[in-house]
Homo-oligomer: A and B are copies of this chain.
């Protein structure tokens, strides 16, 4: 394996673990807010962490799923869901919510790049490949919110999230058309999506809204 790809592979493992934990924690917080029991916490954590990638794989007809290849993660989720019942205190909430924003942004970049890459490897059209990246990055959160009986945050809060994944996906497509290596394209795409999200978090930027339209309800 070339040196650059080795670094990418190593970084990938670290970032993937960080992102899975961040996504799962977002599910845990949502579940506790809705007073779910330990089964509910495990299910919502699993949907938040693996729902997006699994939906992408079902659409692309890919097997095995991530959690079949790495079943140890399922034990981590179960332990976290059961443990949370005993150790989670309300005083942990605000801190946890702010702390997971950054690993969550890493996950956004990682899933956007890897979803696009996997779809391009199946010769999907560029726009479909980019949307597979967006699905990987966002549908875990969407499924989490649907099961918790909320309108999904990602669809209404006007904070750029799916949009960052969308831009990152196009960076990957462009870099591949410029004949970059997969590793370099992956790093640039993931970095762009994560960087955009970090900038949005720091600046408090909101997407243009449909105020007038919304008042037509």
List chain A positions with a Cβ less than 8 A from chain B: 31-41, 43-44, 54, 58-59, 61, 63, 65, 67-68, 71, 74-75, 84-86, 88-93, 124-128, 131, 142, 146-152, 154-158, 161-163, 207-210, 212-217
Complex Cα gap A178–B32 (Å): 39
Q: Is B43 a contact partner of A213 (Cβ separation < 8 A)?
A: no
Q: Is A150 a contact partner of B147 (Cβ separation < 8 A)?
A: no
Contact among B39, B68, B157, B213 for A89, CB-based, below 8 A: B213
Pick from A37, A41, A65 the residue with the most CB of B within 10 Å: A37
Complex Cα gap A142–B44 (Å): 12
Q: Is A89 a contact partner of B36 (Cβ separation < 8 A)?
A: no
Q: Is B213 a contact partner of A155 (Cβ separation < 8 A)?
A: no
Complex Cα gap A142–B63 (Å): 24
Q: Is B207 a contact partner of A156 (Cβ separation < 8 A)?
A: no
Q: Is B65 a contact partner of A32 (Cβ separation < 8 A)?
A: no
Residue of chain B at shortest CB distance from A63: B61
Q: Is A127 a contact partner of B71 (Cβ separation < 8 A)?
A: yes
Number of copies: 3
Q: Is A155 a contact partner of B210 (Cβ separation < 8 A)?
A: no
What are the residues of chain B within 8 A of A124 when measuring CB–CB? 68
Contact among B71, B85, B131 for A210, CB-based, below 8 A: B85
Q: Is B71 a contact partner of A128 (Cβ separation < 8 A)?
A: yes
Complex Cα gap A67–B59 (Å): 11
Complex Cα gap A86–B211 (Å): 9
Q: Is A149 a contact partner of B147 (Cβ separation < 8 A)?
A: no
Complex Cα gap A67–B71 (Å): 30
What are the residues of chain B within 8 A of A156 when measuring CB–CB? 34-37, 40
A175 to chain B, nearest CB (A): 20
Q: A32-B213, A161-B39, A208-B38 are in contact. Are A152 and B147 (CB under 8 A)?
A: yes
A78 to chain B, nearest CB (A): 8
Q: Is A36 a contact partner of B208 (Cβ separation < 8 A)?
A: no
Q: Is A91 a contact partner of B216 (Cβ separation < 8 A)?
A: yes
Q: What are 30 A-B contacts with C-beta separation under 8 Å?
A: A32-B217, A35-B156, A37-B158, A37-B209, A37-B210, A38-B210, A39-B163, A40-B151, A40-B152, A40-B155, A43-B142, A43-B155, A58-B58, A59-B65, A68-B124, A68-B128, A71-B125, A84-B213, A85-B208, A88-B210, A88-B212, A89-B212, A89-B213, A89-B216, A90-B212, A90-B216, A93-B216, A146-B149, A147-B152, A149-B149
